[in-house]
Chain A
């Protein structure tokens, strides 16, 4: 996922894009509802939360769009290559790769800010800058070390998500509601998807399992919005 390469079995190529697109829609829906919550409450945490899910949606949308473009570039015979020059497509791919990594890390950083009740703008600005640097660096090295970047992306994602799982677990322990349970299981499943995809280099089937975990995670989140 991180370095925009094809990792899983061939039969799964289009299905992964559909799963990511579905996740993007669910994330957008949560961003929309929490933005409405912000308009009602004027709480900055609601705004950051909404922004975080908008970034997750952007990240998943990029995946759905980037993979086909990348495939066209790699095949090198598609008619689009004749319209837009190959170097330009590669540059676009790198920019999208940067946006992909940045949006994902920034989204989870924002969620951690919300759950840790950190609202200081200077702190958020520093983390944003650091995330920009990490994303820029990752998008550059991804071209030369795709496996390492991919693994690194999933490990960082897993680390960030473990904080969110911890916060949502505490929330569920307190509320003990069906919705809070769904939120906890959703973040657990998304974490599991990162854990599984770390092992993709061993066997491509982990890519499939990772996506299935992610799909169930986003279905859980969708169920929260429908409660």
Chain B
């Protein structure tokens, strides 16, 4: 995940991490997502508001999970990314 990423790429990266595992801890996202805490929180809030991810509380621990809507979204986002790359955007 090195290099300068745009918002679309960051969202795809976060959702891909959530897609790979059933549930993910915020610290894992922070580490793997290569983002500052504030930026990650901003993105997670936005994704949550859009219903793409949900927060799950288990034994006082917070996890993030991808919703069905989020799964469909990531498929479409990847397609859109491929399209914009094809055009050199």
Contact of A41 among B6, B76, B83, B88 (CB under 8 A): B6
- Which B51-89 residues have C-beta < 8 A from chain A? 76-77, 79-89
A42-50, A75-83, A124-132, A145-153: which lies at the interface: A42-50
Q: With the chains together, A114 CA to B89 CA distance in Å?
A: 8
In contact, B7 and A40 (Cβ under 8 angstroms): yes
Residues in A neighbouring B6, C-beta threshold 8 A: 41, 43
For residue A163, which residues in chain B have a CB less than 8 angstroms away from its CB? none
Cβ-defined contact, B88 with A115, below 8 A: yes
Q: Is B77 within 8 A of A175, CB to CB?
A: no
Q: Out of A45, A115, A174, A227, name the residue touching B83 (CB < 8 Å).
A: A227
Q: Which of A10-18, A95-103, A164-172 contacts B (4 or more CB under 8 A)?
A: A164-172
Task: Report Cα–Cα, A41/B88, bound state, in Å.
Answer: 15
Asked if A34 CB lies within 8 Å of chain B CBs, one says yes
B11 CB–A CB distance under 8 Å: yes
The answer to whether B8 touches A40, judged by C-beta atoms less than 8 angstroms apart, is yes
| Alpha-carbon distance between A126 and B49 when the two chains are bound, in angstroms | 39
Most chain A CB neighbours (cut-off 10 Å) among B76, B79, B84, B88: B88
Task: Please report the C-alpha to C-alpha distance between residue A51 and residue B57 in the assembled complex, in whole angstroms.
Answer: 43
Kindly identify which residue among A33, A40, A43, A175 contacts B85, using a CB–CB cutoff of 8 Å: A175
Known: A33-B80, A37-B80, A40-B80. A183 touches B7 (CB 8 A): no
* Contact between B86 and A180, CB atoms less than 8 A apart: yes
Task: Contact check, A227 vs B82: say whether CB atoms are below 8 A apart.
Answer: yes
Docked Cα-Cα span, A41 to B5, in Å, equals 10
Residues of A within 8 A of B (CB): 30, 33-34, 36-37, 40-43, 45-46, 49, 114-115, 167-168, 170-171, 174-175, 177, 179-180, 182-183, 224-225, 227
